[in-house]
Amino acid sequence: MESGGFFKSNVMNVAKSIKKTGKDDPRRVIHSLKVGLALTLVSLFYYSRPLYDGFGVAGMWAVLTVVVVFEFTVGGTLSKGLNRGCATLLAGALGVGAQHLATAFGKKGEPIALGALLFILVDDRTFLRFFPRIKARYDYGVVIFILTFSLVTVSGFRVNEILELAEQRLLTILIGGATCMVVSILVCPVWAGQELHNLVASNIQKLANYLEGFQAEYFHCIQDKQKSKSSLQGYKSVLGSKASEESLGNLARWEPGHGGFRLRHPWKQYLKLGALARECAYKIETLNTYLNPEIQECMELKCKFEEPCKIMSSESSKALKAISSSMKTMTAPSAAKCHIENSKTATKLLKVALETISLEDAQLRAIIPVATIASILEEITKTVEKVYDSASELSNLAHFKNVESNVSPEKQPPHLLHRGMVNPLVVDIANNNNNNNNNNKNNIDQIEINIHDIISSESPEKVENAPPKSCAENAQSNSCAVVNIIVCH
Amino acid sequence: MESGGFFKSNVMNVAKSIKKTGKDDPRRVIHSLKVGLALTLVSLFYYSRPLYDGFGVAGMWAVLTVVVVFEFTVGGTLSKGLNRGCATLLAGALGVGAQHLATAFGKKGEPIALGALLFILVDDRTFLRFFPRIKARYDYGVVIFILTFSLVTVSGFRVNEILELAEQRLLTILIGGATCMVVSILVCPVWAGQELHNLVASNIQKLANYLEGFQAEYFHCIQDKQKSKSSLQGYKSVLGSKASEESLGNLARWEPGHGGFRLRHPWKQYLKLGALARECAYKIETLNTYLNPEIQECMELKCKFEEPCKIMSSESSKALKAISSSMKTMTAPSAAKCHIENSKTATKLLKVALETISLEDAQLRAIIPVATIASILEEITKTVEKVYDSASELSNLAHFKNVESNVSPEKQPPHLLHRGMVNPLVVDIANNNNNNNNNNKNNIDQIEINIHDIISSESPEKVENAPPKSCAENAQSNSCAVVNIIVCH
């Protein structure tokens, strides 16, 4: 009874696991059916007598080709199929040549000459596999080359009908390979290029989700704790995405044009963009260590940094989201431009805040976590700009549609500097710093002051004198304009 | 003439590239020779007439097995060989069973029944490949299973001598596989386990090199600029080491005991250790962005933080070096314990410095880069401790030698707390902070005060009043004790 129960629960577990794997990506189930279809199609050649008479035992090679060549993506199937075909052709020709060469050594010398030749060629080819570029693109071809060359030189020594054998093998491989390619392309194709495109876009989306969740979590303006927790974990998968991006990039080269992708789509640019997204993820990983409620923080400084930090993270998040969604629609990421500008403005705001805050009462120990978060957020903002530049380059290279002219001015995201919401105004009431006087002046000059944009409903002094507790409420009621007017004492 | 020159330079480039690949890892050249040797050995079976009469065309399968099974590492060869053997046996048996079953459907129904069965089984197996654990360990076995099952059901329909064919194939695969394994193990073996062990140890070493180089670069006590530059780049390869560690971990399971590694060596622990090393590398990547000479820094604060930061980075670096070298000698990483303690003491020092520094004149803008570096260094110190814990666990699980008792006390690295060099002494001369009074008291209580350890050659006040410029010189003349005595005003 007990072992029966154990068996039953085990079977249930396996069934659940299979169901989950199928549910996670239904294309996996379809892929299995596709392989079965291709194999059955090729078997038909073998089962029907007239074809069998034509091909003989070589028909087995067609089956073998299907099993080995059929991959999940079209690029994978094409890469393996073409590698296999070309390598067989080349190795077959070289093998026949080697045979002719070996006969010159007489009956006794022939096996020795062939053995030596085999040894030399196999060595060279095996060594070739250690070159990264060859390993990535032609690894399978090199294996098949060695295989075929060995088989031809070895079998040729016995059979004496190499050319006929070669013809048979090439034809059957052609049938097997062609079946794979046709089934792979026509029945629910999975394009490696499309996969790479989606992977990079979704990675950028994950980074955006983190920054959005970070802002909510750190500044406690959080509605759904559970949702935020999951959005704060998503970026982890970006950290280790290098290998899959590179392998998809290599497979995508083999694919013909499909959907919005032409034959010579700039796949290399996706790898660059992916590397920048990972660079951003590394910084987020460090930022994440400071998202610890146990760290003692200077509330006053946190309150003063709240607005620039919120803007940096939310605008960077919006920029990344705009880049990701423009990739999904294959349009130029022009919608992100405005958010990039806003986040840059926020770094200026942060600089102004840094210039002017006096921390006479604050403890350095409590300042550091807040300062570190602000500093890392600034670095993330810089990386997001690099991501934007790289995405723009991709859009140019891949001739993505330019939607800038199609969007009406009202629909464009608001530009913070023109909305008059967070434009930094530095009112130099009294400059009692003696040493840093020159520095201050220079930095203030760099900041655009546009006094007409300021909402003048509340006086700057009032904000400065407001108790620190009210800053969260201030932010929630969207009266950002006031918070951002900084007064230099 | 010109095309000749072009051809010549191309050939030269290829030759240089080949030479470099061989020089980088001479085992690659040896691997190529090993494959050639195995292939030639197997070909001998085929060339010599008595063996040929025994095996027939099936001899080709032995050659095929060598080409496909022979991998760079012993684990890879064993994994592929065993997968191939077991899958062939299992699929052969199932194939024969399927044949018997199909005959029940009569002459006309047989091909259809076989086709349906093939379709169902191939589908299941293809789907199985999507499970990560199966994909990692048995992927090749599943492919060979599909291959053999297809071949047996297809060929059986025609040949009628399946059992004889199966015996031949198994025997030839056995010969091919056994040759591969013997050559792979006996001739200059490359063990995947040893590779994984070395990879993780060298990754930890690279992190140590960075921290050492960082200290030299950031605090300008640098002798050899070129050497430092290269040590600051090495950690980058750690960031993307996940894929190779995991694949080596999977291959290492297949290997028998070798060198210091037993059959059931805790390979999983290496993956955990590697993940922690990567976690450390992510933080170093962020730290590296602040190593920018253009950033405006508060020299006063940098000077005050210099000692704790130097100790944190140098002791973390020494701890990592000790862990790495203890791994190389397969001993317990007890030598690192002392450095871990020292780096923890340095974080306490940093906290004391934070409690007591008053920054009335300093600009927050110039404080932030220094504070961020100190804060990230503290996080790195924590991660290094985790690396140490994980390395200790590995040492326990793998029964590494315990060298603690063999080393004489004089040879052990000096314990900072007992050397009396950097023990923080907090002299609370006058506490004029009103709000933070309680906080201060609590934190100071946490710090061990050991007044007997202090070198009393110089008075604390002298250091406090010393001009900031002299701090670098102070540090160089190793009068660390003085720098670390911090006075609370």
Whether B228 shows a pLDDT value over 50: the answer reads yes
**Coil vs helix vs strand at A167:** helix
Q: Which of B413, B305, B410 is nearest to B350 (CA)?
A: B305
For A129-188, where are the alpha helices, taking DSSP H only? 132-159, 162-186
Give the model's pLDDT for residue A220.
72
**In Å, how far is B268's CA from the nearest CA of chain A?**
18
Using CA atoms, how far residue B198 sits from B23, B201, B203, B241, in Å, is 19, 5, 8, 13
Give the separation between CA B133 and CA B127, rounded to whole angstroms: 13
Give the model's pLDDT for residue B270.
94
Q: Which of B197, B334, B191 is nearest to B271 (CA)?
A: B197
Residues of A in contact with B367 (CB under 8 A): 364, 367, 371
Structure tokens, B287: 């730290």
Give the model's pLDDT for residue A279.
92
DSSP annotation of A255: P
Which is it for the CA torsion B290, B295, B297, B302, positive or negative? Answer: positive
| Residue of chain A whose Cα is closest to the Cα of B374 | A368
Residues 6+ apart with CB under 8 A from A372: A290, B368, B371, B372, B375, B376
pLDDT digits (tens, 9 = 90+) for A57-66: 666 777 778 8
Mean pLDDT of B256-263: 83
Structure tokens, A127: 């060594």
By CB atoms closer than 10 A (0-12, 13-18, 19+), residue A295 is middle
Cβ(B482)–Cβ(B458) below 8 Å: yes
Whether B187 shows a pLDDT value over 80: the answer reads yes
B21 contacts A130? CB cut-off 8 A: yes
Give the model's pLDDT for residue B388.
94
Binned at pLDDT 50, 70 and 90, residue B464 comes out as very low
**In Å, how far is B191's CA from the nearest CA of chain A?**
17
pLDDT digits (tens, 9 = 90+) for B268-287: 999 999 999 999 999 999 99
Place of tokens 């666990």: B393
Mean pLDDT of B109-136: 77
**In Å, how far is B42's CA from the nearest CA of chain A?**
10
How many degrees, rounded to 5, is the angle at CA A25 between CA A24 and CA A26?
Answer: 115
Option in B60, B67, B374 nearest A155 (CB): B60
**In Å, how far is B405's CA from the nearest CA of chain A?**
38
A437 compared with B80, residue with greater pLDDT: B80
Cβ(B78)–Cβ(B188) below 8 Å: no
Q: What are phi and psi of B408, to 5 degrees?
A: -70, 150
Place of tokens 């990386």: A383
Option in A29, A118, A286 nearest B282 (CB): A286
Mean pLDDT of B98-114: 77
Give the separation between CA A279 and CA A383, rounded to whole angstroms: 7
Residues of A in contact with B35 (CB under 8 A): 122-123, 126
B154 contacts A43? CB cut-off 8 A: yes
CB pairs under 8 A between A and B: 225
Q: Which of B256, B139, B267 is nearest to B189 (CA)?
A: B256
**Coil vs helix vs strand at A14:** helix
Q: Which amino acid is at B49?
A: R
Q: Which of B22, B27, B26, B40 is nearest to B180 (CA)?
A: B40
Q: Which amino acid is at A236?
A: K
Q: Which of A64, A90, A103 is nearest to A146 (CA)?
A: A90
Q: Which of B332, B436, B377, B180 is nearest to A296 (CA)?
A: B436
B477 compared with A22, residue with greater pLDDT: A22
Mutate which of B375, B383, B435, B447 to test chain A, going by most A C-beta atoms within 10 A? B375
Crossing angle (nearest 10°) for helices A334-356 and A364-397: 160
Give the separation between CA A64 and CA A39, rounded to whole angstroms: 9
Give the separation between CA B140 and CA B79, rounded to whole angstroms: 9
**Coil vs helix vs strand at A104:** coil
Crossing angle (nearest 10°) for helices A267-289 and A192-218: 20
Q: Which of B374, B361, B485, B382 is nearest to B428 (CA)?
A: B485
Cβ–Cβ contacts within 10 Å for residue B334, how many? 17
DSSP annotation of A294: T
Share of chain B above pLDDT 70, in %: 72
Give the model's pLDDT for residue B387.
94
Residues of A in contact with B431 (CB under 8 A): none
Give the separation between CA B418 and CA B374, rounded to whole angstroms: 24
Q: In this structure, what is the dihedral angle of CA atoms A234, A237, A238, A244, given to the nearest 10 degrees? A: -140
Give the model's pLDDT for residue B161.
65
DSSP annotation of A411: G
B371 contacts A363? CB cut-off 8 A: no
Give the model's pLDDT for residue B459.
36
Option in B37, B355, B361 nearest A363 (CB): B355
The neighbouring-strand residues paired with B383 are none
Q: Which of A194, A199, A198 is nearest to A240 (CA)?
A: A199
Binned at pLDDT 50, 70 and 90, residue B209 comes out as very high
Binned at pLDDT 50, 70 and 90, residue B158 comes out as low
Cβ(B180)–Cβ(B226) below 8 Å: no
Give the separation between CA B34 and CA B27, rounded to whole angstroms: 10
pLDDT digits (tens, 9 = 90+) for A95-126: 888 877 877 887 777 777 777 777 787 777 77
Residues of B in contact with A132 (CB under 8 A): none
Give the separation between CA A333 and CA A209, rounded to whole angstroms: 18
Cβ(B74)–Cβ(B191) below 8 Å: yes
Give the model's pLDDT for residue A318.
93
**In Å, how far is A132's CA from the nearest CA of chain B?**
10
A54 compared with B304, residue with greater pLDDT: B304
Whether B386 shows a pLDDT value over 70: the answer reads yes
| Residue of chain B whose Cα is closest to the Cα of A373 | B372
Give the separation between CA A253 and CA A45, rounded to whole angstroms: 31
How many degrees, rounded to 5, is the angle at CA B296 between CA B292 and CA B300?
Answer: 115
Q: Which of A6-15, A434-443, B305-314, B477-486 has the lowest mean pLDDT?
A: B477-486
Give the model's pLDDT for residue B226.
60
Cβ(A221)–Cβ(A475) below 8 Å: yes
Q: ipTM value, please give it.
A: 0.74
Whether B259 shows a pLDDT value over 90: the answer reads no
Residues 6+ apart with CB under 8 A from A425: A449, A451, A454, A460, A484, A485, A486
Q: What b/e readout covers B261-300, taking b as 16+ CB neighbours within 10 angstroms?
A: beeebbbebbbbbbbbbbbbbbbbbbbbbbeeeeeebbeb
Mutate which of A34, A43, A179 to test chain B, going by most B C-beta atoms within 10 A? A43
Q: Which of A55, A54, A42, A73 is nearest to A177 (CA)?
A: A42
> In the 3-class helix/strand/coil scheme, how is chain B assigned residue by residue?
CHHHHHHHHHHHHHHHHHHHHHHHCCHHHHHHHHHHHHHHHHHHHHHCHHHHHHHHHHHHHHHHHHHHHCCCCHHHHHHHHHHHHHHHHHHHHHHHHHHHHHHCCHHHHHHHHHHHHHHHHHHHHHHHCCCHHHHHHHHHHHHHHHHHHHHHHHHHHHHCCHHHHHHHHHHHHHHHHHHHHHHHHHCCCCCHHHHHHHHHHHHHHHHHHHHHHHHHHHCCCCCCHHHHHHHCCCCHHHHCCHHHHHHHHHHHCCCCCECCECCCCCHHHHHHHHHHHHHHHHHHHHHHHCCCCCCCCCHHHHHHHHHHHHHHHHHHHHHHHHHHHHHHCCECCHHHHHHHHHHHHHHHHHHHHHHHCCCCCCCHHHHHHHHHHHHHHHHHHHHHHHHHHHHHHHHHHCCCECCCCCCCCCCCCCCHHHHCCCCCEEEECCCCCCCCHHHHHHHHHHCCCCHHHCCCCCCHHHHHHCCHHHHHHHHHCCCHHHHCEEEEC
Using CA atoms, how far residue B188 sits from A482, B63, B80, B199, in Å, is 74, 22, 19, 19
Cβ(A396)–Cβ(A328) below 8 Å: no
Whether B5 shows a pLDDT value over 90: the answer reads no
Cα end-to-end distance, chain B, whole Å: 83
Give the model's pLDDT for residue A280.
94
Whether B405 shows a pLDDT value over 60: the answer reads no
pLDDT tens-place values along chain A, 489 residues long: 445 566 677 777 777 777 777 777 788 888 888 888 888 888 777 666 555 555 556 667 777 788 888 888 999 999 999 998 898 888 888 888 887 787 788 777 777 777 777 778 777 777 777 787 777 788 888 888 888 887 777 665 555 666 777 777 788 888 888 999 999 999 889 999 999 999 999 999 999 999 988 888 888 755 555 666 777 888 889 998 988 999 999 999 888 888 878 888 899 999 999 999 999 999 999 999 888 777 777 777 788 888 888 899 999 999 999 999 999 999 998 889 999 999 988 888 888 877 776 666 566 777 788 888 888 999 999 999 999 999 999 999 988 888 754 444 444 444 444 433 444 444 333 343 434 444 444 433 333 333 333 333 333 333 333 333 333 343 333 323 323 333 223
A283 contacts B40? CB cut-off 8 A: no
Give the model's pLDDT for residue A78.
92
Option in A127, A365, A439 nearest B351 (CB): A365
